[in-house]
A and B are shown apart, each in its own frame.
Chain A
Amino acid sequence: METILKVENLKKFFPIKKGIIRTTAGKVHAVDDVSFSAVKGETLGIVGETGCGKTTLGRTILHLYKPSEGAVYFEDKLISQMTQRELLPYRRNFQMIFQDPYESLNSRHTVGYILEEPFIIHKLENKQQRTEKVKKLLDKVGLQKNSLDKFPHEFSGGQRQRIGIARAIALNPKLIICDEPVSALDVSIQSQILNLLMDLQSDLGLTYIFISHDLTVVRHVSDRVAVMYLGRIVEIAGADEIYETPLHPYTKALISAIPRPSAGKEIKRIILQGNVPSPVNPPTGCYFHPRCPIAQDICRQKYPDLINYSLNESEQMAACHFAGYEK
């Protein structure tokens, strides 16, 4: 298996400016020491609650934010240190699909132009070939050919998301970061888009980083899942392991809190107390300890390492002093 993306100790802090001379009063620890890798053709799901840094992680990987520390390797090329100009030729290999299909498309351009633009930026093909390509793209994502001259506002949310997807796959990328691609869509449309994404993955051999707060959706599309809490990965493992035998107490609570639309089965819910603390001043020790049902003294003092607890060949990493421990 070929590793396509490797992230090492990635950090992204946003400074908080205060006063007239804008001195830095503190830092938002949006992404705090995150390491993982993704192999070609897989879908790595990233889940977590609002403010856990999953979107920032996605954007920092793509160099849309400059990382504060750490390294991002794309196919063994260190991309995190490159300047924008150096990065441009590589950019066509990794793309992004955004959450809000209403804001991620330029409302003043026709769909034809929106889809043609990637080719123009990378100076590929001539006008005629480009139009051909755009037509093929529309077909691939299930839109009609007469969409070319229409503007984004003439489409529904689901169709706009299809346009966003067409734009992302225009240059045959290898990696796509999907940032909450179906969260803004209605239930009956969600499955259409998820099917499209899965079909495209098997047709084009794409690798997805699939960011979402919807745990059921992530389970369905992912091979592996990383759970984030307050800027850090607290558990990363195969999707089946995460959902069936979670080790970290936060993962356990998260999985148990999912409302399930199947009647009958009673699930024992773990209801966490309190709220996610502020990422400006994360708690000492393990960031999760103030809400953790099994926290001990050591949890208040030392942040646990991400350790592989798997008993077989597979990988199940968790960052908890008492991983797997039942209360």
Chain B
Amino acid sequence: MNSEIDIILKVRNFSAGFLKDGEVYPAVDRISFDLRKGETLGIVGESGCGKSVTALSIMRLLPVPSGKYIGGEILYRGKNLLAFTPEEMRKVRGNSIAMIFQEPMTALNPVKKIGRQITEVFELHRKDLKKAEMERETLSLLEKVGIPDPLQRMSEYPHQLSGGMRQRVMIAIALACKPDILIADEPTTALDVTIQAQILDLIKELQRESGMSVIFITHDLGVIAELCDDVVVMYAGRVAEKAPADALFVSPMHPYTSGLLESIPKFEYKRKTRLKSIEGMVPSITDYPEGCRFRNRCTFAFEPCSIKHPDEVEIAENHKVNCFRYGG
């Protein structure tokens, strides 16, 4: 794969955090990753690992005033999004980079009709369209995301739709301007398995059609296996491992990744046997340990782990890990 040209989004040494009692605690700490054109990148980790903060930062949507962009760069087509003015950023948001959220009910406006919420996107980003054209586009969008009876649905409110339908509407809004990048933050976590299967299917199909890149954030390794080309595993605000999805599931390198993979029940396991588990719990943001943040739960931890955080080592092609076991 021709690397440099294909890369549409480049995150370099990026840190962001929250202000609390006069101190800034970094929720993501010096992370770097690339997103190629047309690929699906999964970001996986447990609550508090910084995956959502990463997503919000790319959209420059961290809460004001507590959210702080501490350092590093987020380069979209070579331009640093962190240096954009709010006006410039508004042109990017929803137009070139769009986002869907976990809970579609809170992400949609409850007092605006579905159709209106979609045409709003056109009014912001495609002012050249006439009103009738906007409505026609809206209708075809709703059809595309598989909403039955779209004309009727356009004049309904979010509360009249089911969870799966609402998520489809969110996707329609996100896709309205044919974005280059779609960021999906746990889009199926609030949905049932059969509905989740529908939505994942839809995202795959739309991606195939349009060739957009997707950043898919989830805690569900099953969904990652299903959907993603590449995976970034995060732990306590830092990247633990980056790998192509197949390589990650076949040969996880970081002790955290392998621990995580072993701890979920699988169909191949004998029933009612003890599961392997990672002892202890995720450290809180206010007292991360010195050195590697996973070392207190790690079975391989040795001296260097307590001194500094390991550097990234490339073990196989595109398979990178931050762990002293591999040299760090």
Residues of A within 8 A of B (CB): 43, 49-50, 156, 158-159, 186-192, 194-195, 198-199, 213, 215-217, 219-223, 239-240, 243, 253-254, 257-264, 269, 271-272, 275-276
Contacts and interface: CB of A to CB of B under 8 A. Distances in A.
B192 interface: yes
Given A186-B46, A187-B260, A222-B271, A261 B193 contact: no
Interface residues of B, number: 47
A192 B197 CA distance: 28
B245 interface: yes
A261 B264 CA distance: 9
B275 A194 contact: yes
Contacts of B195: 49, 275
Contacts of A189: 281
28 contacts: A43-B272, A156-B281, A159-B281, A186-B47, A186-B282, A188-B278, A188-B281, A188-B282, A190-B263, A191-B277, A194-B265, A195-B277, A198-B272, A216-B266, A219-B265, A223-B271, A243-B267, A254-B193, A257-B197, A258-B193, A259-B200, A261-B222, A261-B264, A262-B267, A263-B250, A264-B246, A269-B197, A271-B201
Given A261-B224, A275-B162, A219 B267 contact: yes
Interface of B: 46-47, 162-165, 192-198, 200-201, 219-226, 245-246, 249-250, 259-261, 263-269, 271-272, 274-279, 281-282
A57 to B, nearest CB: 17
B221 A261 contact: yes
A187 B221 CA distance: 9
Contacts of B47: 186
A221 B264 CA distance: 12
A253 B266 CA distance: 18
A213 B245 CA distance: 26
Contacts of B266: 216, 260-262
Given A187-B260, A189-B281, A220-B272, A261 B194 contact: no
Contacts, number: 130
Given A222-B271, A259-B226, 18 more contacts: A49-B193, A50-B192, A158-B281, A186-B282, A187-B46, A187-B219, A188-B277, A191-B265, A195-B274, A198-B272, A199-B274, A213-B192, A220-B269, A260-B226, A262-B266, A262-B267, A264-B250, A272-B194
A321 B277 CA distance: 43
Nearest to A274: B148
A159 to B, nearest CB: 8
Contacts of B223: 259
A247 B201 CA distance: 25
Contact of B265 (A217, A257, A275): A217
A275 B197 contact: no
Given A158-B281, A263-B250, A49 B222 contact: no
A216 B221 CA distance: 12
B192 A188 contact: no
A177 B26 CA distance: 41
A276 B198 CA distance: 13
B264 A191 contact: yes
Contacts of A195: 274-275, 277
Nearest to A222: B271
A257 B196 contact: yes
Contacts of B265: 191, 194, 216-217, 219-221
A187 B261 CA distance: 9
Instruction: Enumerate the 6 nearest inter-chain pairs by beta-carbon distance, A residue then B residue, closest first.
Output: A259-B222, A220-B265, A191-B263, A49-B192, A263-B249, A191-B277
A220 B192 contact: no
